[in-house]
Amino acid sequence: MQKILLLGGGLSTTSFIKYILDNAEKYDWKLRIGDQQLAPIKKQLANHPRGECFDFDVTNQEQLYHEVSEADIVVSMLPARFHHFVARAAVELGKNMVTASYVSEDIKELDSKAKQKGVLILMEIGLDPGIDHMSAMQIIDKIKDQGGKINLFKSFTGGLVAPKFDNNPWNYKFTWNPRNVILAGQGVSKFIRNNKYKYIPYNQLFTRIERITFDEVGEFEGYANRDSLKYREIYGLENIPTMFRGTLRRPGFCKSWDVFVKLGMTDDSYLMEDVANMTYREFTNSFLVYHKTKTVEEKIINLFNLKEDSSILYKLRWLGLFSDEKIGLVEATPAQILQHILMKKWALDEGDKDMIVMRHLFEYEINNKSEQIESSLVVYGGDHTAMSITVGTPLAIAVKRILTGNLTGSGVQIPITKDIYEPILNELKEFGVIFKEKKFKEGNFQKTYSTL
């Protein structure tokens, strides 16, 4: 019997757990899940004879090494800052490891030792990163195999509420980690456009967008991810003139979110004073200039040059930011307070379903002619969330292929080679993860609105 150790059993792992248990009898697997929140995991396991869970603390080195030593493969879905603890244990104990998270500098340093030990650390095998890599590389390799030269690559991904359940003025609900949403984009975003390097500081990020339309689900706007430039080397496109990766939201979201950025509400670097007695209105006013007679609303209108009937003002009012409701926290940073407020208003209602949207756009030259490929993905949540399907399922397929000897290798890797991405993308079609492609000849290229 092969033992699969899953560390971290959050919402994005539900599809992973189902896949492993559905195939456990066939492949003679046992799934052991370590987490500190066991109730939802026990509910999903439902006394399955091939599954069990236990209380786990990744900082307990003795427990970590014991659990890894007993496993045939380790899957880490812990918060990203803990992956290197698991990876180090896996390498030292000679166990393969898989995770959906980005490769960190700490884990990069384990590459040579993992190769010496014959250990595979497969990372970035979820959605974004993961499916984005695999689907992009599939097209890149096809173009290159035909002798084509790629001049432009743009890629956008968004996790949003499905249209049927999109019923608030922000057209957004939390479908993944709220803290990551609040802190998204901080720092400098960088990309290349027509051989010109471009840099967008955080205070301008949400004013620079590209408008994108999906046939199935309508219009979105995309803002820049932090570092698009590193993907030139990862994808073998070192000399590409245009490379851009971004995040998708519904139209109007970015301009409204920019108010929070400009005010300083997304700052996570300091604790605010007297939070325990603060109201939402006082929280908002604390970022505005002092005035004896002007209301908080009037200050916002003046600062951002808004009209009384502005949709932005309506969205802020709908969130309760001008109300006298107490925040209800003892101490917090501005970002933590904003997250606390938004979690009350942007939570998924019972029965709500989420949606994943992804779009790749390529422009390339082949046989002295220019062509364009648009590749689009839309996945809806069902019994499991779309986020769980697109994160957990490729992760589970990778684990299966490693355990059955169909995916081999060593060192720190991501899924950018055909032997990894082809079979995983093929199997993902069974779960509704299907890309639709459109091709355009020169003169008929898809046009997009952009302020980038």
What CA–CA distances, in Å, run from 180 to 76, 98, 316, 371, 431? 18, 22, 20, 36, 26
Residue 250 has pLDDT above 80, yes or no: yes
Residue 409: alpha-carbon gap to chain centroid = 26
In a domain, 13, yes or no: yes
Task: Indicate the pLDDT class of residue 149, thresholds 50, 70 and 90.
Answer: very high
What CA–CA distances, in Å, run from 108 to 96, 118, 391, 420? 15, 15, 22, 19
Residue 346 has pLDDT above 90, yes or no: yes
Residues 165-175: tens digit of each pLDDT: 999 999 999 98
Same domain membership, residue 222 and residue 158: yes
pLDDT score of 11? 82
Boundaries of domain holding 22: 2-123
What is the chain's mean pLDDT, rounded?
A: 95
Same domain membership, residue 277 and residue 153: no
In a domain, 26, yes or no: yes
Same domain membership, residue 241 and residue 140: yes
Residue 449 has pLDDT above 80, yes or no: no
pLDDT score of 441? 84
The label of the residue with tokens 């908080």 reads 296
Same domain membership, residue 139 and residue 119: no
In a domain, 302, yes or no: yes
Residue 450 has pLDDT above 90, yes or no: no
Same domain membership, residue 167 and residue 106: no
For the ranges 72-76, 261-265, 438-442, the lowest mean pLDDT is seen at: 438-442
In a domain, 316, yes or no: yes
Same domain membership, residue 364 and residue 251: yes
Same domain membership, residue 142 and residue 114: no
Domain count, the chain: 3
Same domain membership, residue 373 and residue 229: yes
In a domain, 166, yes or no: yes
- Give me the mean pLDDT over the 172-182 stretch: 92
Same domain membership, residue 248 and residue 200: yes
Task: Indicate the pLDDT class of residue 452, thresholds 50, 70 and 90.
Answer: confident
pLDDT score of 445? 74
Nearest alpha carbon to residue 395 among 93, 141, 123:
123
Task: Indicate the pLDDT class of residue 182, thresholds 50, 70 and 90.
Answer: very high
Task: Indicate the pLDDT class of residue 446, thresholds 50, 70 and 90.
Answer: confident
Residue 135 has pLDDT above 90, yes or no: yes
Residue 47 near residue 106 (C-beta atoms within 8 A): no
In a domain, 378, yes or no: yes
Task: Indicate the pLDDT class of residue 438, thresholds 50, 70 and 90.
Answer: very high
In a domain, 409, yes or no: no
- Give me the mean pLDDT over the 295-301 stretch: 96
- Give me the mean pLDDT over the 4-14 stretch: 93
Same domain membership, residue 141 and residue 113: no
Residue 451 has pLDDT above 90, yes or no: no
pLDDT score of 176? 83
Residue 19 has pLDDT above 80, yes or no: yes
Q: Among 123, 145, 161, identify where a domain stops.
A: 123
Residues 384-432: tens digit of each pLDDT: 999 999 999 999 999 999 999 999 999 999 999 999 999 999 999 999 9
Which CATH number characterizes residue 116's domain? 3.40.50.720
Task: Indicate the pLDDT class of residue 447, thresholds 50, 70 and 90.
Answer: confident
In a domain, 421, yes or no: no
Please state, in angstroms and rounded to a whole number, the distance separating the CA atoms of residues 78 and 96: 16
> pTM for this structure?
0.94
Same domain membership, residue 206 and residue 88: no
Residue 314 has pLDDT above 90, yes or no: yes
Q: Among 93, 123, 153, identify where a domain stops.
A: 123
Please, what's the b/e burial string for 284-296 (b: 16 or more CB within 10 A of its CB; e: otherwise)? bbbbeeeeeeeeb
Same domain membership, residue 20 and residue 82: yes
Residue 89 has pLDDT above 90, yes or no: yes
Residue 24 has pLDDT above 80, yes or no: yes
Residue 266 has pLDDT above 90, yes or no: yes
pLDDT score of 103? 93
Residue 137 near residue 421 (C-beta atoms within 8 A): yes
